[in-house]
Structure 1
Amino acid sequence: MRDTESLPISALQHYLYCPRQCALIHVEMVWEENLFTAEGRLLHKRVDAGEAGRRGSIDEERSVPVRSERLGLYGVADVLEMRTGASGSSIPYPVEYKRGSPKVGDWDRGQLCAQAMCLEEMLELTIREGAIFYGRPRRREKVIFDDVLREKVEVSCRAMHSLIEGGVTPPPEHGRHCKNCSLLRVCMPKLSKQRKVEKYLLQGLEQ
C-alpha cells in the first residue's frame, strides 16, 4: 500500500474493539476523553519517558517506530526487548503497556500482533511472541502470534481500510463493551436500540 493509505495501528485496535468506534474516530474525526483514555495516555507518557537500556540481561528499546507497507499500518512499539533467538541472533520481543486488565476480546492482542508483523516486514525475521503489561493487576500477559491471530489481523486490516476509505460510519450496536467506550455519549447505542424498537412497534400498529 502507498504511504497515503497507511493508518495508525491504534485504528486497528479501535476496529477490533468496535468498527463504529473506529469510523467515528478516523472518518468523522470524533474524540472524547474519559477516565480510561486519560489513564492510558498518562501510562504511555511514563513509558515513553523511560530511557533505552537493560533490564537484567535484556536490552530494551522504547518508543520504536514501526510500519508495514503490506498491511498499510504504522505506529510505535512501547518497548522492544531484544532476546536471543535459537540461532544466537537478537529477536525483538514487543511489550505493549495498557492501563486496564486483560481483555476477553482480541483487540489488544491484535494490536500487539500487528506491531510484530510490522517489525517482521522491516527486519525480515519471524517474531513468535510478545507480551501486554496490564496496569491494574500489574502483570504481563504473554501473547503468541499464531496463525489464527495473524489471520485476524490480516482480515481486519483489509476491512478497516475498506471502512475508512468508504467513509460510511456503521450504525450503533449496543453491547457489553459500550460502557467503557469514551465515545458512549456521542454514539448513544441504547438510544439507537430504543428507536429500532419504537419503529418496529409503529410498523405493527400500521398493519
Structure 2
Amino acid sequence: MENRTYSEEEYLQIAEIQHFAFCPRQWALDYLEGQWQENVLTIEGHALHDKAHDPMSREKRKGKIIVRGMRVFSASLGISGDCDIVELHEKKDGVFIPAFNGTYEVIPIEYKRGRPKEGEEDVLQLKLQALCLEEMFCTTIPYGYIYYGETRRRQETVFSEQQRETIIELLKQMRQYIQRGYTPKVRRRKGCRKCSLQDVCIPKLKPDTSVQAYLEKRLVE
C-alpha cells in the first residue's frame, strides 16, 4: 500500500466503495456529477439505516457493548464514514479500550435493505469499515456481519487479504477518475433496471455521451 498522507479534500467516504464496486458509472454520476436520485429501493434502504443509526448511542448488554453510528476513519487509506453498528464483545485477549475500561473483540455490522447480492460490493464496504476500525483500535478484525432486511438475519462475512487488495485498487481507480473528472461509459447489466439513476444514466443512449452535457442540451432545447 502506498505510504502517503491524504489531505482533507482527498478523503473518500466508506459508502463510495459499495457504489463503485457495483457500477463505476453510478458512482461517478452520484459523487462526481451530483446526479443522485431516489427510488423506492433507496428510500427503503435509508429507512433501514435510520433504524440502525442513532449516532454514537451506546447500549450495554451482558458481555457486549453496542455502538450505533460510530464515526470511523483510516489515515493510511484516506477514508472516513460511519458504521451502522459496532459490537464490542468482552474478550480476555481482545484489544483494550480505555473508554469502556476493558478488553474487547471489535465486530462491524452493516445493514442492507435487500438480500445477499451476487457481487461483492456489500462485503467490500464492510471490509473497509473493518480496515478503519483496525487502524483506530490497533487490532485485527477477522469477520463481521451484514444484516439483510428481506431475510431479516445476519450473514457472517469472513475477511480476506484479497478483499483488502481489491479495496486498495478500487480506491486508486476512484481517485484517478476524480483527478481526471471523468465519468465511465455505460456498461449495460441486469442491475440497471433497479438502479435509481436509470433515467439519469440513460443506458440506451450512446455510451460516450456525458450525462451533464446531455441534460444541459435538453434544458437549452
TM-score over 0.5 (shorter chain): yes
* Coarse TM-score class (shorter-chain normalised): 0.7 to 0.9
TM-score by length of 1: 0.88
The DSSP-based 3-state class of the residue aligned with 2:93 is coil
Q: Work out the CA distance in 2 between the residues paired with 1:7 and 1:167.
A: 15
The Cα shift of 1:57 comes to 3.3
Q: Work out the CA distance in 2 between the residues paired with 1:152 and 1:85.
A: 30
- Unpaired segments of 5 or more residues in structure 2? 1-5, 95-102, 210-221
1:10 matched to 2:15? The reply is yes
The DSSP-based 3-state class of the residue aligned with 1:93 is strand
Q: Which amino acid aligns with 2:130?
A: A
Equivalent of residue 180 in structure 1, options 194, 201, 213: 194
Equivalent residue number for residue 47 of structure 2: 42
Change (3 A) 1:59 1:173: same
The Cα shift of 1:55 comes to 4.5
Deviations 1:141-177 (A, max 9, x none): 1111111111111111111111122211011110012
Q: Which amino acid aligns with 1:100?
A: G
Deviations 1:79-123 (A, max 9, x none): 011124461431210000011100111111100100110111111
Checking the alignment, whether the CA contact within 8 Å between 2:54 and 2:69 is kept in structure 1 is no
Q: Work out the CA distance in 2 between the residues paired with 1:85 and 1:127.
A: 13
The DSSP-based 3-state class of the residue aligned with 1:13 is helix
Count residues with an aligned counterpart.
Answer: 194
Change (3 A) 1:55 1:134: farther
TM-score by length of 2: 0.83
- Unpaired segments of 5 or more residues in structure 1? 196-207
Answer 1 or 2: which has greater helix percent. 1
1:121 matched to 2:126? The reply is no
Deviations 1:11-42 (A, max 9, x none): 11111111111111111111100011100111
